[in-house]
């Protein structure tokens, strides 16, 4: 029986396992994750913090999925090394899993820049896992001030959630405006006003140089020299592929991640990689903010799983399609930020862009339509209006039925 080891049990890992099983009913599949929960949507983390969802609502698959597919789970287990010559995955507890094929789907993690002093203090958190959230949750009830460093989707979500939990929040970003990869200046200004009116102070063009305090966070020092008092610091300003376990191998890892070809195969033919940890050929023009998304991770996971099975059987592998419709959303109090776009490969030549902007009502809705289908969309506005076909911003932007009826409505228009 062929042995398959998948490292990571999230978007890419779970879809790789499903595709592998669909192509090879007999292989023995082991999934290793250092998390204790198998496969949950990271975009739910904010909902968990403000308690608007429970963990069971955030699972990618129902709890019996892994049993049904005959998959062995090794949760709470950290991969320390891969030995490509012996075809073996070694855990930190010295357990070893032999493999005929291995799929690496370890994602990315927030990293602290080397020049940041004091990052090890109690009260410094990332915002990327249930474990990080649980640690943050311990301190929220006894804290009243927080800084969030990084204003991507994770940073914005963290800031909004901490504010909703009653903390005084400052959002610190090196950028000149919010989400420049996605938002026109007018939309970015609206978003800034929404956040500031809900009590989040935003400091633009700033970085943190030092976390101040004995053992606990007491303040942060910015690059300007200014010191801001805070008891909690959430950092999501920089991230990197989790691929340290490949460091003793000759598998190429670039600054962006594990180098793979169009089949998602690394420089070692028995080792594939997929998802946020991957630097895949042909994506150099896609900025990180648009590249590391759920839809790409699942599309790559599916392709890597199927190709790994074909590699085992000697079949002809297929290139990953590199075309997907992505969506990033962020619940901001009673407001919603929704960003949707197709990858360039899927994007028809845009025929028309419709913008509805009502500054007084606080609505920005921009929709780009090509070949009769939506190919990009930005919505900032009341969450309640987003589903309504008659809300002015939706009608004027030409959104059929307000919100896209489903992800397929968005994706289905590809020509």
Ligand X SMILES: Cc1cc2nc3c(=O)[nH]c(=O)nc-3n(C[C@H](O)[C@H](O)[C@H](O)COP(=O)(O)OP(=O)(O)OC[C@H]3O[C@@H](n4cnc5c(N)ncnc54)[C@H](O)[C@@H]3O)c2cc1C
CA distance 277 to 30: 19
Of 11-19, 163-171, 371-379, 405-413: span binding ligand X (CB under 6 A): 11-19
Least distance in angstroms from the C-beta of 359 to ligand X: 26
Residue 344 near residue 153 (C-beta atoms within 8 A) = no
Q: Is 127 in the site for ligand X (CB under 6 A)?
A: yes
Among 27, 31, 79, 188, binds ligand X (CB under 6 A): 79
Among 3, 5, 6, 13, binds ligand X (CB under 6 A): 13
Q: Is 58 in the site for ligand X (CB under 6 A)?
A: no
Among 71, 82, 107, 373, binds ligand X (CB under 6 A): 107
Among 4, 5, 6, 12, binds ligand X (CB under 6 A): 12
The interface mask with ligand X, positions 387-406, x = CB under 6 A, is --------------------
Among 118, 150, 213, 275, binds ligand X (CB under 6 A): 275
Q: Which is nearer to ligand X, 45 or 222 (CB)?
A: 45
List the one residue out of 299, 358, 294 whose CA is nearest residue 329.
Answer: 294
105 Cβ contact partners less than 8 Å away, ≥ 6 residues apart = 6, 7, 8, 9, 10, 11, 12, 13, 16, 273, 274, 275, 277, 297, 301, 304
The interface mask with ligand X, positions 168-197, x = CB under 6 A, is ------------------------------
DSSP assignment string, 226-255: -EEE-SEEEE-S-EEE--GGGTTS---B-S
CA distance 2 to 241: 28
- Other Cβ atoms less than 10 A from the Cβ of 120: the count is 9
CA distance 154 to 143: 20
List the one residue out of 25, 24, 16 whose CA is nearest residue 61.
Answer: 16
Among 4, 6, 10, 380, binds ligand X (CB under 6 A): 10
CA distance 124 to 217: 7
Angle at 231 between CA 227 and CA 233, to 5 degrees: 80
Tokens of 79: 């991969």
| Residue 278 Cα distances to 101, 107, 227, 309, angstroms | 17, 8, 37, 19
Q: Which is nearer to ligand X, 161 or 317 (CB)?
A: 161
Least distance in angstroms from the C-beta of 7 to ligand X: 6
Among 5, 45, 241, 308, binds ligand X (CB under 6 A): 45
Q: If binding means CB under 6 A, how many residues of this protein chain bind ligand X?
A: 38
Q: Which is nearer to ligand X, 40 or 222 (CB)?
A: 40
| Residues of this chain, 289-308, that bind ligand X according to CB under 6 A | 292-295, 297
Q: Is 33 in the site for ligand X (CB under 6 A)?
A: yes
Q: Is 329 in the site for ligand X (CB under 6 A)?
A: yes
Least distance in angstroms from the C-beta of 277 to ligand X: 6
334 Cβ contact partners less than 8 Å away, ≥ 6 residues apart = 382, 383, 384
- DSSP one-letter code for 117: B
| Residues of this chain, 199-258, that bind ligand X according to CB under 6 A | 242, 245
- DSSP one-letter code for 317: P
Least distance in angstroms from the C-beta of 76 to ligand X: 9
CA distance 10 to 234: 22
CA distance 93 to 302: 30
Of 4-12, 53-61, 163-171, 303-311: span binding ligand X (CB under 6 A): 4-12
Q: Is 153 in the site for ligand X (CB under 6 A)?
A: yes
Among 325, 326, 337, 399, binds ligand X (CB under 6 A): 326
Q: Is 34 in the site for ligand X (CB under 6 A)?
A: yes
Least distance in angstroms from the C-beta of 251 to ligand X: 14
Give the residues lining the site for ligand X (CB under 6 A). 7-13, 32-35, 42-43, 45, 78-79, 105-108, 127-128, 153-154, 157, 242, 245, 275-276, 292-295, 297, 326-329
């Amino acid at each position: 029986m062929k042995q398959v080891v998948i490292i990571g049990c999230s978007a890419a890992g779970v879809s790789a396992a499903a595709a592998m099983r669909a192509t090879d009913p007999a292989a023995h599949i082991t999934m290793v994750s250092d998390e204790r929960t198998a496969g949950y949507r990271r975009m739910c983390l904010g909902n968990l913090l403000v308690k608007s969802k429970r963990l069971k609502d955030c699972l990618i698959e129902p709890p019996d999925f892994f049993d049904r597919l005959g998959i062995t789970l090794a949760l709470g287990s950290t991969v320390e090394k891969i030995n490509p010559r012996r075809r073996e995955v070694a855990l930190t507890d010295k357990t070893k899993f032999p493999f005929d094929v291995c799929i690496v789907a370890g994602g990315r993690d927030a990293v602290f820049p080397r020049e940041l002093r004091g990052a090890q203090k109690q009260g410094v958190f990332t915002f990327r896992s249930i474990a990080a959230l649980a640690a943050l949750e311990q301190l929220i009830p006894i804290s009243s001030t927080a800084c969030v460093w990084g204003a991507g989707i994770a940073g914005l979500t963290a800031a909004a959630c901490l504010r909703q939990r009653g903390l005084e929040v400052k959002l610190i970003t090196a950028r000149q405006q919010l989400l420049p990869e996605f938002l026109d200046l007018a939309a970015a200004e609206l978003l800034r006003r929404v956040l500031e009116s809900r009590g989040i102070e935003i400091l633009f063009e700033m970085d943190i140089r030092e976390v101040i305090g004995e053992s606990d966070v007491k303040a942060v020092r910015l690059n300007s020299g200014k010191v801001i008092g805070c008891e909690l610091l959430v950092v999501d300003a920089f991230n990197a592929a989790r691929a340290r376990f490949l460091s003793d191998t000759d598998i190429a890892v670039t600054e962006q991640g594990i180098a793979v070809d169009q089949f998602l195969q690394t420089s070692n033919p028995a080792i594939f990689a997929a998802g946020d940890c991957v630097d895949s050929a042909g994506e150099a023009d896609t900025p990180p903010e648009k590249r590391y998304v759920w839809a790409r991770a699942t599309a790559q996971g599916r392709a890597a799983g199927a190709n790994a099975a074909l590699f085992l059987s000697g079949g002809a592998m297929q290139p990953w399609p590199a075309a997907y419709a992505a969506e990033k959303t962020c619940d901001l109090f009673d407001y919603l930020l929704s960003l949707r776009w197709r990858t360039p490969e899927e994007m028809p030549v845009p025929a028309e862009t419709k913008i509805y902007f009502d500054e007084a009502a606080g609505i920005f809705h921009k929709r780009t339509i090509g070949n009769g289908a939506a190919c990009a969309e930005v919505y900032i506005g009341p969450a309640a209006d987003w589903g309504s076909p008659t809300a002015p911003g939706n009608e004027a932007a030409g959104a059929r039925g307000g919100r896209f009826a489903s992800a397929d409505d968005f994706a289905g228009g590809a020509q």
